[in-house]
Amino acid sequence: MEQRSYNQYCATARTLDLVGERWTLLLIRELLTGPKRFGDLQHSLRGLGTGLLAARLKHLEREGLAHKVTLPPPARTPAYALTAAGAELEPVVLALARWGMTWAMDDPREQEAFHPGWAVLGLKACFDAEAAAGLRALYEFRVAEEVFHARVEDGTIEAAHGPAQRPDAVVTISAEAFRDITAGTWTLADAIGSGAASVTGDREALRRLHHLFPLPPHRARSASPVQAS
């Protein structure tokens, strides 16, 4: 597949030459949370055909953004992981997510896929470092069949797929309720009150959880001019 180019000697254009094709940034989003097998990527990216997925992965390899790895035991299966250059795209993807929470997200559409595991990056995107000052806590989230965790260390966060080792607090919630929370139509307290979620663990960690990941208010896009500061 021929790679298209903007043919501009500009850093923005050169970057878009590398990651601007459809599906490429979403592949990087998936790999930012750790190595993934070909089948894992197919499952997460519904609508991306096998041939195009293979072509996009070859493009990322060719351009030095991803490489093939072998997962550790017991899996020992081939997978794809980001290189150092690919991993440095994380701030770009998080910035796009934060912009989207404000300007692009509204009610979920019937045809849209939703995977709770996408929240691993979402937690980083809406993390409030000031609200986490002085807090050291390990949270585990069990959303339907998916499990992920977040470690908060005095204003910093690390999030990853899989269960936590000795979590301070555990949130168990249905996929539907979790989607409604990410859409801003429900809160965790709403989900707990309805019976769609439960929490266990350290009370202080749970109390602070409510303030760690605030969603930005949704704003409507319009032709209004930018206000002078």
Q: Selecting from 3.40.50.620, 3.40.50.150, 1.10.10.10, 3.40.50.300, what CATH number does the domain 11-88 have?
A: 1.10.10.10
Q: Is 50 helix (H, G, I), strand (E, B) or coil?
A: helix
- In this prediction the pTM is 0.90
Q: What's residue 229's pLDDT?
A: 60
CATH superfamily of 116-212: SCP2 sterol-binding domain (3.30.1050.10)
- Give residue 59's identity as a one-letter amino acid code: H
Predicted confidence band of residue 107 (pLDDT cuts 50, 70, 90):
confident
- Mean pLDDT across 70-96: 95
Q: What is the mean pLDDT of the chain?
A: 94
Token pair in block for residue 140 = 């585990």
Give the contacts of 101 (CB within 8 A, at least 6 positions apart): 125, 126, 215, 216, 218
Domain ranges of the chain: 11-88, 116-212
